[in-house]
Structure 1
Amino acid sequence: MTEQTPAAQSAIPITVVTGFLGAGKTSLVNRLVAARSGGERIGVVVNEAGDIGLDGELLGDVSDDVVEIADGCVCCTSQGELLDAITRLHSAAGHLDRIIVETSGLADPGPVVDTLANITHVLRLDTLVAVVDAVHALDQLDRHNSPEARQQLQLATHVVVSKVDLADDGAVDSLRARVRALNPDAQIIVAPREQLDPELVLDRFLFSADEDAAGHEHDPDHDHHHLDVEIFSVELEGELDAGRFDGWLGGLLMLKAQDLFRIKAILAVAGEPRRQIMHGVQTYVETTAGREWEPEEPRTNRIVIIGRDLESDQWRDELARCVAG
C-alpha cells in the first residue's frame, strides 16, 4: 500500500468502477455503498451512455448522494461534466467520506483518471476497479474486439469477476488467464457479489495516475463507431401486461441475442406492487423486485438496450402494444 502524505490523508478517497456493458458495475457499487453506509457518507457519480438514466435512480435506493451524467460518454465530451458533478455532489452533501464514480460501459477510463488526477488537492485516487462478466467477457474481448474493454482491464488496480455462479470453472480460469495477460499487476477477485468484501477494493491506495495512465492515448472525437453501437431507449406510460411483455422480450432475445450488449429496465407490471428491475446480457436476463410503487406515482416503464442493428422502431412499436388494458 502506498504511504500517504498529510495532504493525501485529508483528501477524499475516490474509487472509479469501470467495466464493459452489462458486467455488473451498478450491482457492485450498490454493494460497496450499502456495506459502508453505517459509518460513511458516500457520494456516487454515475455516467450512462443513453438519454434515459436508470443507474442513478437505482443507486438512489441505497444513497441520497447521487449525481447522474446521462447521454454521453464521460471519457469523451463529458469530462467537464464529471468535475461539475463532483463539485455539485460535494457542495450539496456538505461532507463526504468517499466518492465512487461509475463509468459508462463504453468508457475508456484513461481520460477519467487524467481528469481526477488534476484535482488531487481535494481528491485522492484510491482504486480503479474493473468488473468483468465471467460468462460473456471473453466473447466481448474477442468477437467484439473492444479497445475500451481491454483498456478497462489494463488500467485497473483490481478486477472483480462477476456472475461466477453462472459460469463453469473452465470459463473462469480462462478469463483469469486473459486478465492476467492484459494486466499482470491487477488484483483479481473472484467472488459472488453478495460475498465480496469491500475492504478488498476500498482504502487500498494502490493507484498511481502517473504510472498507470502514462502513455495513454485517447481520441476525443471517437464515437465508439467500431462497435456499431445503437442505443434503444424508451419511456412508456402504463402498466405492462406480463404475458405480452414476456412475448416481446422472448422475440427480442430469439432474434437479436448475440447483438445485445446490455438490457436494463425499470418496469411497472400489472398486478405487481413493486417495481421490477431487469438486467440482461445476450440471452441472460434477470428480474428482481425493487421498492414498492408509491400510491400516486406514475407507472412509467424505462427501458434502455444497447447493442448492434437493433431495428429500434420495430421493437418500439411492438412494445407499445404490451401496455395492459
Structure 2
Amino acid sequence: MLMSALILLVLRACMMLEAQLQVGFYENSCSMAELIVKQEVTNAFFKDRGVAAGLVRMHFHDCFVRGCDGSVLIDSTQSNEAEKDSPANKPSLRGFEVIDSAKTRLESVCQGIVSCADILAFAARDSVEITRGLGYDVPAGRRDGTISLITDTRNLPTFTSNVDQLIQNFKNMGLTQEEMVTLSGAHTIGRSHCGSFRDRLYNFSSTTSQDPSLDPAYAAQLKKQCPQGSTDASLVVPMNPASPTVTDVGYYTDILANRGLFTSDQTLLTNPSTAIQVTQNARNPFLWKSKFASAMVKIGQIGLLTGTAGEIRANCRVINS
C-alpha cells in the first residue's frame, strides 16, 4: 500500500514537471525568441550545412547528462573540467557559436528571460526542419543548470556500444527500445572523425583486422578516406554518404546494406526486434520522420529544471555565480 502511494506521488510529480513546459512559453515575455533562434540556425546552416547535425547531437548529449539543462554549453575552468571537453563530446559536438549568437541577440531584447537550455532545444528542432525533417512544437520553460562535470558523461552511448548497451542506456533515460532505434536515425546527417570507427577497418579483433559485418566495398572506400596509421585529426567522412545534409531514412538503408558507419549503428541488425524496426523505418520515410519528431519532444523533457530551480544564464558558457 505504501509503495503504491509512493509510485502515485512520483507519477504526479513527473506530470506536474512536464506540465510546467508549455508550447509558446515565451509568447508574452519574449515573443521573438523562437524566431531569433531559427534565424541564427538558418544563417549558420547556409555557411556550414554540417552545423545542423552538431546542434541535434548537442541537444541529445545535453539531455542525457543531468537532463536538458544546458550544462553541455558550459566551458571548463581551471578548477573544473566540463562536459563539453569529454572525449564523448569533443570534437564531435559543434555549433556552440550558434547558441552564443542567439543568446546575445536574445539578451539584447529580452534580458534574463530565455534559458540556454530552451535555445538549444529550439535550435535542435530548427536543425531537423532545415534538413528536411518534420518540424515540431517545442514545449519550453526549461531553466539552466549550474553544474557541468566531465565525469558525468561516462554513461553516454558510444560509437562502440552494442545493441543491449544502447537499449539499457535509453531505458535509463525513460526511452523505449523503439525510440532508441528511431533516434539513432539522427546519424543520417553529419560526419564522423576517422578515429571513431578506425578499429573496424584495421584492428577489429585478434583474429580479423576488418569487421566482417562491414560491406567490403564500403570498407575499401573508408580505408581510402582514413588511411591506416594517419594521425590527421581533421580527417572526416559523412555518416550517410548519399545525403549527408538531409534528414531521411538513408541511415536505415545503409544499415540494411551493412554500411552502418559505427559499431553502434550496425549492431541494430543483431537483435530481431530492432532489426525489424530498422526495416520498417527504411520502408516508410514519413512514419519514421513522425516518430523522430515525437521522440525529440520526449528527449527534451528529460530531467527538467523549471519554475525557480536553476537559473537563466546571461552567458551560456558561464554560470551566473
- In the superposition, the TM-score normalised over structure 2's length comes to 0.28
Structure showing the higher strand proportion among its residues:
1
More relative contact order, 1 or 2 (CA 8 Å, 6+ apart): 2
- In the superposition, the TM-score normalised over structure 1's length comes to 0.27
